[in-house]
Amino acid sequence: MLEKYWYPKIQKYLENEGYVCHGFYKNGKKLDFIDTGIGNARIDVLGIKRASLIASNFQLETIGVEVKHIGKITIKNIRQAASYAHLCTRCYLAAPVERFSENDKKNAAQAGVGLIRLKRKRVDVIVESNKFQPDIDLINQFLWFLNVVFCPICRTYKHRYDPKELKYNGGSWRNDIFSKKNKWIYICNECNIKLSKNTRQYLMARELEQIRNRFEGIEQKLAKTKRHVDKIDNYYYHKYLKLKGKGERSIKRLDNYYYSKHANLNRALKKIK
Ligand SMILES: [Zn+2]
């Protein structure tokens, strides 16, 4: 496998161009994006970066390089590179050729495939690749195998295993009812914190509101009871005053009655004496 010799050189070239060419295994070891893919087609060297700002819609540049350690390329090689287009926005065929023939360039251009000439100390792009539009959902699924996860809230990609924090990168998974078995939606650490903070604040505000409502209800009930008590007080006070007046008048009447009786008796006694 002499092709392997070229892999690190191509990776270095891509990294200089801003592409990310490796992720991390669960144990924190480097996971090279080498010989990756979904299904039969394997991509020799893969680099990923964000496409230069495209308003609103997120876009990735995924570049796949098919490496052949041969001095002369064939149409079959070009087709093989072109088959990367289901996962790669740019597809290249790289070989340590002296030079690409006009026919090679024509065939490559027809297939939309770029050509890279490999030299011991140089990597030269001779023909640029067309821009392909692979399905982003498929790419996200593919990235999952590379331990790269996509957070649909902040729309960023994260390493599933952070080499600094091996067991847990703070993200979590939510099951999606419309997804097939095993398909979960990933939420990253930052979004988790933001969500839980917001949720805490929301719950606290709701609880405060409930307490306030309950307090107001109690106050209203108290005021009502007080009004009721006042009403009863007034009622009995009036009754009391009425009774008191009545009683006083009765006593006075009785007083008068017995006083006059007493006087009559005295007068009668005087007559008898
Ligand atoms: Zn997020």
pLDDT tens string 187-241: 888 898 888 888 888 889 999 999 999 999 999 999 999 999 999 999 999 999 9
What gap in Å lies between CA 3 and CA 207, rounded to an integer? Answer: 65
In angstroms, what is the span from residue 271 Cα to ligand 1's centroid? 123
Sign of CA dihedral 32, 38, 41, 46: negative
Q: What is the DSSP letter of 56?
A: S
Distance 134 CA to ligand 1 centre (A): 23
Residue 62 CA to ligand 1 centre (angstroms): 21
Contact 60, 18 (CB under 8 A): no
Residues whose CB is less than 8 angstroms from the CB of residue 75 and which lie 6 or more positions away in sequence, other chains included: 107
Distance from residue 173's CA to the centre of ligand 1 (Å): 12
CA 12 to chain centre: 34
Residue 189: its pLDDT value, please?
86
**Which residues have a Cβ under 8 Å from the Cβ of 10 and sit 6 or more positions away?**
45, 65, 67, 94, 116, 118, 123
In this prediction, residue 21 has a pLDDT band, given cuts at 50, 70 and 90, of: very high
Task: Tell me the CA–centroid distance for residue 14 and ligand 1, in Å.
Answer: 27
Cβ(112)–Cβ(92) below 8 Å: no
Residue 154 CA to ligand 1 centre (angstroms): 4
Distance (angstroms) between ligand 1 centre and the Cα of 151 equals: 5
* CA–centroid distance, residue 192 to ligand 1 (Å): 7
**Which pLDDT score, from 0 to 100, does residue 223 have?**
96
Side-chain-side CA neighbours of 3 within 13 Å: the count stands at 15
What was the pLDDT predicted at 201? Answer: 86
Stretch 114-142: mean pLDDT: 92
DSSP states of 191-238: HHHHHHHHHHHHHHHHHHHHHHHHHHHHHHHHHHHHHHHHHHHHHHHH
Cα(195) to ligand 1 centroid in Å equals 10
> How far does the centroid of ligand 1 lie from the alpha carbon of residue 186, in Å?
8
Amino acid found at 87: L
Q: What is the whole-number distance in angstroms between the Cα of residue 155 and the centre of ligand 1?
A: 6
Tokens of 167: 């067991």
Q: 173 by DSSP, 3-state: which?
A: strand
Q: What is the pLDDT of residue 56?
A: 44
Backbone angles phi, psi at 72, to 5 degrees: -145, 125
Query: In the chain, what are the domains?
Result: 2-147 (3.40.1350)
pLDDT tens sequence across 49-67: 988 765 545 578 999 999 9
Angle at 10 between CA 8 and CA 16, to 5 degrees: 100
C-alpha–C-alpha distance, residues 15 and 35, integer Å = 17
Q: For residues 107 and 158, what is the distance between their CA atoms, to the nearest angstrom?
A: 38
169 alpha carbon to ligand 1 midpoint, in Å? 12
| Distance from residue 153's CA to the centre of ligand 1 (Å) | 5
Tell me, in angstroms, the distance from the centre of ligand 1 to residue 197's CA. Answer: 14
Count each helix (H run) and each strand (E run) in the chain, helices first: 5, 12
Tokens of 214: 């309950």
